[in-house]
């Protein structure tokens, strides 16, 4: 008969590494918590054992949806064996979960992981003693080095065969008395093995369990209150204390820590600088700048360096233009393909898809940089450093992990918001994660950078900083809505030791993401390019209109929309509005659309994509265009992910509306204010630099918007009082 084994443990204790070792699977291993969100299953090679990798959790009192996933699995799908992974370098905190797992009465084996680290530190663990204290088998392993894993499997098989649950680890007499009352009051309404778990949770006043068995809760409530009075504390902290006391006894008996030398490990010493109050942020900005100088380059006055990404992107763009586009055009002419068909192929398809694919080198460098930073362990340091800032704004530092994931793609970023316990923070994070530029927005950034700012990578750094600032501002604003108000929860996150990035991990991660980008170009972008071509090549009367694109269906739609964006400095350039709208399908489409449209126009004027943009956008309106496209509603896929997390179309619609309004406000402020700077509102007209001067109306509007924003930011939080009041009442 096949055996089901569940892997459970704190985030980052090595569950996925062990899962991969056991099953030969290739799940993503992350050097930060929150990477495994749904449970995954696999089979141990050569054994009749199915393994389930559950999300990492700190406790079985569920706060966040992923904790609920893990707990419900253990309670309702009852696996035959639980393997509780304990990070031996962090044993106290890990045992907090272990004690609760043991209460479940399911046969349990403890895998004491990271033993290689423990040995390096010189600590000694008395495994037999630990096993006796916890009442279940303990197996020292190193998932990473593949040590002890076979022994673990053997113990798992034995535990499954015996069907024996662990012996209870008991608390002090007075707590045990209340637990016993709860057990007898529950009677046989829960399986006998599980009754201790339910009883303990009930004593802790766990909301879910009390909701399930209100009468038992009622029956023991006087005993619980009595205990609280005697201990002069609330029940949940009494239980937490009791657990930590037990843990410190157990660990005191079975672990001998080697004296740490004063300086700490190399990681500790690096962290003292990298996460310091003073250097943390400058180092982060420095790293960001280096990454974008590498991808895009830098230019200031006469001085300029081309980034590796830009170098290859320029080359690839050239290659797409000639020989590909010109070659196809010639070939079409030589075999007598019609003008419309040639244009569809050359301008529509190759122009649209090619404009996106041209950015592949820059994307690959971005993905490579993200993968390296993640694998080294720097990403969790960024979260740690930013947490200090975020806390000032009342946002949980936990929001940072979704944001960091969102630099690659917003969809997993939004999904990663599930790791956040507080409902309020989770919703706010899901709504604001996409403000951070995702990989697909990089081409938009790169295009504006090279067309308007001579290839200065600092524009990209600006984009990321803008994203973070808008997230922070949104945190404050959204908290003032009733549904999203509430208290911030504390952020616990350990910093995993730095390690040299594994080439396999990094290359695989980079290529996976690069391939996803190419696939998108070949499907969604291809389709969108064809639609854009049709709409821009035909008039309302369905006349093929090679003569003037301005008579096309798309131009008239774009013109209508362009009035909306005029205050942002986009002029009556309908192409910009169309690009923004098609960007909703996928952000690369902004570029793809320009590729198609300007390709058709270039046929008339002979100008390239970047030169055309220079005639439409100044420095100020270029940044406003960029800001709007980065902040406004994300692509449809991300909206779908938002819907899954927010739970209703109404909330999703409101979130999208909020994003669009925010984008408009920010873009207006950027254009209105920067447009006042001498020379920042200059565009090319017939090859001559022409200063448009101060955009007076936009500037006035920008000042009004700034004032409104300041008012909302500093206005008293209407729900603050409410929460303070309710907290006092409960004390
Ligand atoms: P999960 O969050 O529990 O799934 O943890 P992961 O499997 O993603 O591992 C988190 C980090 O710990 C990764 O960087 C792993 O490489 C590392 N790790 C896992 N097992 C071991 C081990 O036995 N020894 C050491 N030194 N590192 C490990
Ligand atoms: Mg994992």
Q: Which domains does the chain have, with CATH numbers?
A: 3-162 (3.40.50.300), 173-256 (1.10.287.1770), 283-722 (no CATH)
CA of 55 to the centre of ligand 2 (A): 7
**Mutual angle of helices 649-674 and 696-714, in 10-degree steps:** 130
In a 3-state reduction of DSSP, which class is residue 261?
coil
* Best mutation site among 10, 35, 144 for ligand 1 pocket (most ligand atoms within 8 Å of CB): 144
- Ligand nearest the Cα of residue 144 is 1
CA of 592 to the centre of ligand 1 (A): 40
**Is residue 14 within 6 Å of ligand 1 at its C-beta?**
yes
How much is the pTM? 0.69
Q: Where are the alpha helices (DSSP H) in 40-172?
A: 65-76, 91-103, 115-121, 127-134, 149-162
Provide the mean pLDDT of the chain. Answer: 86
CA of 327 to the centre of ligand 2 (A): 49
**Is residue 29 within 6 Å of ligand 1 at its C-beta?**
yes
**Is residue 116 within 6 Å of ligand 1 at its C-beta?**
yes
- Ligand nearest the Cα of residue 12 is 1
**Is residue 36 within 6 Å of ligand 1 at its C-beta?**
yes
**Mutual angle of helices 649-674 and 619-631, in 10-degree steps:** 170
Determine contact, residues 250/134, Cβ cutoff 8 Å: yes
Model pLDDT for residues 391-419, shown as the tens digit of each residue: 777 777 778 888 988 888 888 889 888 77
pLDDT at 602: 63
Closest ligand 1 atom to residue 30 Cα is 8
CA of 15 to the centre of ligand 2 (A): 6
**Is residue 11 within 6 Å of ligand 1 at its C-beta?**
yes
Read out DSSP for 531-542? HHHHHHHB-TT-
Determine contact, residues 436/471, Cβ cutoff 8 Å: yes
pLDDT at 374: 85
pLDDT at 198: 93
**Is residue 142 within 6 Å of ligand 1 at its C-beta?**
yes
Determine contact, residues 713/687, Cβ cutoff 8 Å: no
Report the percentage of the chain scoring pLDDT > 70: 91
Residue 500 DSSP class: P
Phi, psi for residue 516 in degrees, rounded to 5: -60, -40
Model pLDDT for residues 148-188, shown as the tens digit of each residue: 999 999 999 999 998 888 988 999 998 999 999 999 998 88
For residue 399, what are the contacts with CB-CB under 8 A and spacing of at least 6?
390, 417, 420, 425, 428, 429, 432, 433, 471, 475
Report the percentage of the chain scoring pLDDT > 90: 37
Q: How confident is the model at residue 726 (pLDDT cuts 50, 70, 90)?
A: very low
In whole angstroms, what separates CA 79 from the centre of its chain? Answer: 30
pLDDT at 262: 60
CA of 369 to the centre of ligand 1 (A): 21
Determine contact, residues 190/76, Cβ cutoff 8 Å: no
Residue 194 DSSP class: G
Range 345-350 contact pairs with CB under 8 angstroms and sequence separation of 24 or more? 346/599, 347/533, 347/596, 347/599, 347/600, 347/603, 348/529, 348/530, 348/532, 348/533, 348/534, 348/537, 348/596, 349/526, 349/529, 349/530, 349/533, 350/320, 350/324, 350/325
**Is residue 30 within 6 Å of ligand 1 at its C-beta?**
yes
Q: Identify the top-confidence range among 247-256, 529-538, 669-678, 721-730.
A: 669-678
Distance CA(67)–CA(112), nearest Å, equals: 21
Determine contact, residues 148/141, Cβ cutoff 8 Å: yes
CA of 9 to the centre of ligand 2 (A): 10
pLDDT at 491: 58
pLDDT at 27: 61
Q: Go through 356-392 and write b for each residue having 16 or more CB atoms within 10 A of its CB, e for each that does not.
A: bbbbbbbbbbbbbbbbbbbbbbbbbbbbbbbbeebee
**Is residue 699 within 6 Å of ligand 1 at its C-beta?**
no
Determine contact, residues 23/44, Cβ cutoff 8 Å: yes
Model pLDDT for residues 543-575, shown as the tens digit of each residue: 887 667 888 899 999 999 999 999 999 998 999
Distance CA(457)–CA(450), nearest Å, equals: 9
**Is residue 113 within 6 Å of ligand 1 at its C-beta?**
yes
Distance CA(462)–CA(445), nearest Å, equals: 10
Question: Considering only CA atoms, which of 386, 459, 400, 458 is closest in space to residue 429?
Answer: 400
CA of 13 to the centre of ligand 2 (A): 8
CA of 278 to the centre of ligand 1 (A): 30
* Best mutation site among 9, 10, 11, 12 for ligand 1 pocket (most ligand atoms within 8 Å of CB): 12
Distance CA(435)–CA(659), nearest Å, equals: 8
Residue 141 DSSP class: -
Q: Which residue has the higher pLDDT, 492 or 142?
A: 142
Residue 580 DSSP class: H
pLDDT at 16: 85
Determine contact, residues 532/593, Cβ cutoff 8 Å: yes
**Is residue 34 within 6 Å of ligand 1 at its C-beta?**
no
Residue nearest to atom 15 of ligand 1 (CA): 14
Q: Which of 95-99, 325-329, 529-533, 724-728 is predicted with the least confidence, judged by mean pLDDT?
A: 724-728
């Amino acid at each position: 008969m096949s055996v089901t084994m569940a892997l459970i443990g704190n985030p980052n204790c090595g569950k996925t590494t062990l899962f991969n070792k056991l099953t030969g699977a290739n799940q993503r291993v992350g050097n930060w918590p929150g990477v495994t969100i749904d449970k995954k299953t696999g089979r141990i090679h050569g054994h009749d054992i199915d393994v389930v990798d559950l999300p990492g959790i700190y406790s079985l009192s569920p706060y966040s949806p992923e904790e609920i996933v893990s707990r419900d699995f253990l309670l309702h799908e009852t696996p035959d064996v639980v393997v509780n992974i304990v990070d031996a370098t962090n044993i106290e905190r890990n045992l907090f979960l272990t004690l609760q797992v043991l209460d479940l009465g399911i046969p349990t084996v403890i895998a004491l992981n990271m033993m290689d680290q423990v040995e390096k530190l010189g600590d000694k663990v008395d495994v037999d003693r630990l096993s006796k204290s916890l009442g279940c088998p303990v197996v020292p392993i190193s998932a990473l080095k593949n040590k002890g894993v076979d022994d673990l499997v053997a113990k798992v098989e034995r535990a499954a065969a015996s069907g024996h649950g662990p012996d209870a680890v008991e608390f002090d007499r007075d707590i045990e008395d209340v637990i016993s009352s709860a057990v007898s009051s529950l009677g046989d309404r829960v399986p006998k093995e599980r009754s201790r778990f339910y009883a303990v949770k009930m004593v802790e006043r766990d909301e879910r369990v009390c909701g399930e068995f209100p009468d038992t809760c009622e029956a023991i409530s006087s005993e619980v209150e009595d205990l609280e009075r005697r201990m002069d504390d609330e029940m949940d902290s009494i239980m937490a204390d009791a657990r930590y006391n037990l843990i410190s006894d157990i660990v005191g008996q079975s672990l001998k820590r080697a004296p740490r030398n004063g300086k700490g490990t190399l990681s500790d010493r690096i962290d003292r600088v990298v996460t310091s109050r003073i250097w943390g942020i400058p180092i982060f900005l420095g790293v960001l700048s280096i990454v974008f100088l590498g991808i895009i380059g830098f230019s200031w006055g006469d001085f300029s360096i081309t980034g590796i990404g830009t170098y290859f992107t320029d080359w690839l763009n050239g290659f797409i233009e000639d020989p590909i586009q010109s070659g196809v055009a010639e070939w079409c002419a030589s075999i007598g393909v019609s003008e419309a068909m040639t244009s569809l192929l050359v301008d529509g398809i190759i122009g649209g898809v090619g404009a996106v694919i041209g950015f592949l080198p820059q994307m690959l460098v971005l993905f490579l940089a993200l993968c390296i930073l993640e694998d080294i362990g720097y990403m969790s340091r960024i979260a740690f450093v930013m947490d200090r800032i975020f806390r000032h704004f009342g946002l949980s530092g936990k929001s940072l992990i979704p944001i960091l994931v969102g630099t690659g793609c917003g969809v997993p970023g939004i999904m990663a918001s599930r790791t956040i316990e507080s409902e309020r923070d989770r919703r706010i994070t899901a709504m604001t994660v996409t403000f951070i530029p995702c990989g697909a927005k990089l081409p938009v950034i790169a295009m504006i950078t090279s067309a308007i700012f001579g290839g200065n990578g600092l524009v990209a750094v600006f984009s990321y900083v803008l994203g973070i600032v808008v997230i922070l501002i949104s945190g404050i604003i959204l908290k003032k809505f009733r549904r999203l108000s509430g208290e911030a929860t504390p952020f616990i996150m350990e910093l995993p030791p730095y390690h040299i990035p594994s080439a396999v991990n990094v290359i695989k991660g980079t290529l996976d993401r690069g391939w996803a980008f190419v696939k998108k170009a070949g499907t969604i972008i291809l389709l969108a390019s064809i639609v854009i071509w049709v709409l821009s090549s035909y008039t309302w009367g369905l006349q093929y209109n090679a003569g003037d694109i301005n008579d096309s269906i798309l131009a008239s739609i774009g013109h209508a929309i362009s009035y909306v964006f005029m205050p942002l400095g986009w002029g009556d350039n309908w192409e910009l509005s169309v690009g923004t709208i098609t960007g909703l399908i996928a952000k690369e489409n902004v570029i793809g659309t320009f590729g198609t449209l300007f390709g058709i126009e270039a046929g008339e004027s002979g100008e390239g994509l970047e030169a055309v943009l220079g005639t439409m956008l100044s420095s100020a309106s270029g940044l406003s265009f960029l800001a709007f496209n980065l902040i406004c509603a994300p692509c449809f896929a991300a909206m779908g992910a938002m819907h899954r997390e927010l739970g209703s179309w109404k909330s999703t619609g409101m979130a999208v509306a909020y994003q669009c309004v925010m984008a408009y406000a920010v873009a207006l402020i950027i254009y209105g204010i920067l447009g006042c700077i001498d020379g920042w509102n200059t565009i090319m007209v017939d090859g001559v630099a022409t200063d448009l001067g101060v955009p007076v109306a936009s500037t006035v509007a920008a000042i009004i918007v700034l004032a409104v924003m300041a008012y909302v930011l500093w206005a008293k939080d209407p729900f603050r009082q409410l929460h303070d009041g309710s907290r006092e009442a409960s004390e």
